[in-house]
Chains A and B, each alone.
Chain A
Amino acid sequence: MMKLKISDMMDNIQDDTVLFQIKEIASSDKIKEVAMNKLHANSNTHARTRKVSAMLIAAVLATILLAGTTLAVYYFSMKDLEGPAVQVGGEEAHTLSLNGLKGSPEYEAAQEWERYVEAWYAKGENLAVPDLAPDAYTQYNAFSQDAKDTLDDILSKYNLRMHDAATQVNSLDELYSGLGVSGFMPIVGDNGTFPVSGTFYDDGTFTLNGAAALPDGADVRYQFYCFTKGTFTRVGYLLADVNDFEEWVYTTSHGDDILLAIGANKSILAVNLDKSFVFVNILSGAENSDDNRSSYGAKPVGKRDLEALADSFDFAAIRGLAR
């Protein structure tokens, strides 16, 4: 038997036929003030941050009826996801950060820690030994006391905390059960037989290799990363050059702003939520060339496909995971 929630089905219809009693809860001036605050705050970039004083807000509100000024609504861009350049096969390769925007504590801490780990490895230090007892530091490749002390310093510097032990999952149901929530991912493709795998932590951070059915029925596979802010994850970078993507900001039917980017062989979805950061590596792009391992055999996607995929994730439920 298939079960459907009526109130969820109603998410995709619109109505203006019901005439209910209108309540006077807040004045339209108050709504305007809050909306304009946010509109102007969103127009800032890292380089152009500015404080908006109450007087400036009042001045703007006073002038909006007189002049038709326009402001671009700024979200973040792919440039804010650029990771460090790395060496691959003797050549320099570009990367994207998975766990946060450039400048965020999570991003900076990850880079700083990686520099230490690489430096120790190059010197033959901080190596895992056979009789090493695993602890909370092991997941971060901190094996020596020096490494553990350094990691503690970095966590303190950026005000981050470690994850507890990771739990592996092999199905969406296991993930939902582990996180204590109901479904928030799209129905897995291949009529439910696609092998899902992932990891979650008690703080709500999780990763998932999954798949979804696109509107035309084709499956698209993805790697979903959700990092609770304030936690530290040792995660690699995605090999990708921001210049190889066409990006845009899409607002879902639930009002979430999503950064979408489509490339030749992969696509990106990224969302900066209040308490977590989401990055989805979509294993399909506009072309899917035969020599690309990740997207080989996958049906190419278009912009509408990525928007439909963005609509299928329940970001409201994902927001509630962060602890």
Chain B
Amino acid sequence: MDEKNALRALKKKDEAALAWFIDRYAAYVNTIVYNIIGRIMTASDVEEVASDVFLVFWSNADKVKPDKIKAYLGGVARNKAKDKTRELGQDLPLEDDVIGISSVGPEHTFELREQAEMLEKAIRSMQHPDREIFLRHYYYCHPVAQIAEEMKINASTVKTRLRRGRQKLKEILSEGGFDDEIKNLRYDGQYTG
């Protein structure tokens, strides 16, 4: 069976297809989940979350494209594990996770789609290894030490690259916010920024 046929079968609610995907991606999903919650939860908790990821895939197979399965599973695994940390009131050990956009007032909102587009633009503009470091830390929630070890660079370099990535993201968000401020000004005639 290949992924395309397995996905087709999964969309028809074929349990054998689900089992096939689990065999193929269990280790990948487990690793993502474990990297986020392994230090605060048990092995059976990791298994529970990992199994939930595949059940979400089962329910949403219709929405997944054949060439995006790994990315989809990774995204769900990451979000589910992150949700677990929130349920327990735990913070992720991330560097400067909050950025301030001074050109945009607090009452302004970016739609989720806008945020995702600007974030992807920022990430695409980063060169290697900055892009990989940024994704490892803020998407996969790898601590700085783990990134340094796996990428064979020192921790201070990781932090420097993360800072650069945050700066790039701020620039792009600020540009997007400024454009929307102009729209708001025309809409209600009152500048609130």
Q: Does B107 contact A34, Cβ atoms closer than 8 Å?
A: no
Determine if B86 is an interface residue (Cβ-Cβ < 8 Å). yes
Contacts of B58 in A (CB 8 A): 35, 39, 73
Q: Does B16 contact A73, Cβ atoms closer than 8 Å?
A: no
Determine if B55 is an interface residue (Cβ-Cβ < 8 Å). yes
Contacts of A23 in B (CB 8 A): 27, 30-31, 34
Tell me the minimal C-beta distance from A192 to chain B in angstroms.
Answer: 5
Question: Which A residues, 1 to 22, have Cβ-Cβ distances below 8 Å to chain B?
Answer: 1-7, 9-18, 20-22
Question: Which B residues, 58 to 99, have Cβ-Cβ distances below 8 Å to chain A?
Answer: 58-60, 68, 70-72, 74-76, 78-80, 82-84, 86-89, 92, 94, 97-99
Q: How distant is the Cα of A39 from the Cα of B13 in the complex, in angstroms?
A: 11
Question: Which A residues, 63 to 110, have Cβ-Cβ distances below 8 Å to chain B?
Answer: 64-73
Q: Does A314 contact B86, Cβ atoms closer than 8 Å?
A: yes
Residues of B within 8 A of A (CB): 9, 12-19, 22-23, 26-31, 34-35, 38, 43, 46-48, 50-56, 58-60, 68, 70-72, 74-76, 78-80, 82-84, 86-89, 92, 94, 97-102, 104-113, 115-116, 119-120, 123, 131-132, 135-136, 138-142, 150, 166, 169, 173, 177, 192
Which has the most chain B C-beta neighbours within 10 Å: A15, A30, A69, A311? A15
Q: How distant is the Cα of A71 from the Cα of B10 in the complex, in angstroms?
A: 11
Tell me what chain B mostly uses at the interface: helix, strand, loop, or mixed.
Answer: helix
Which has the most chain B C-beta neighbours within 10 Å: A3, A12, A70, A315? A12
Q: How distant is the Cα of A249 from the Cα of B16 in the complex, in angstroms?
A: 23
Contacts of A132 in B (CB 8 A): none
- Sampled A-B contacts (21; CB under 8 Å): A6-B166, A7-B141, A10-B119, A11-B82, A14-B68, A15-B75, A16-B74, A20-B31, A28-B22, A28-B27, A31-B22, A31-B30, A34-B50, A38-B52, A64-B19, A66-B16, A68-B17, A73-B58, A251-B60, A311-B112, A317-B87
Interface residue stretch chosen among A120-128, A229-237, A252-260, A264-272: A252-260
The residue in chain B whose Cβ has the minimal distance to the Cβ of A315 is B83
The residue in chain B whose Cβ has the minimal distance to the Cβ of A316 is B83
Q: Which residue from B12, B28, B52, B87 sits with its C-beta under 8 Å from A70?
A: B12
Q: How distant is the Cα of A316 from the Cα of B83 in the complex, in angstroms?
A: 5
Q: Which 8 A-B pairs have the closest CB atoms?
A: A316-B83, A28-B26, A34-B51, A14-B71, A35-B51, A70-B13, A16-B71, A2-B104
The residue in chain B whose Cβ has the minimal distance to the Cβ of A60 is B15
Contacts of A213 in B (CB 8 A): 109, 111
Contacts of B139 in A (CB 8 A): 7, 10, 13, 15, 18
Contacts of B109 in A (CB 8 A): 187, 213
Q: Does A71 contact B115, Cβ atoms closer than 8 Å?
A: no
Q: How distant is the Cα of A311 from the Cα of B112 in the complex, in angstroms?
A: 10
Tell me the minimal C-beta distance from B99 to chain A in angstroms.
Answer: 6
Q: Does A17 contact B26, Cβ atoms closer than 8 Å?
A: no
Tell me the minimal C-beta distance from A58 to chain B in angstroms.
Answer: 14
Q: Does B31 contact A21, Cβ atoms closer than 8 Å?
A: yes
Determine if A36 is an interface residue (Cβ-Cβ < 8 Å). yes
Tell me the minimal C-beta distance from A216 to chain B in angstroms.
Answer: 10
Q: Does B82 contact A7, Cβ atoms closer than 8 Å?
A: yes
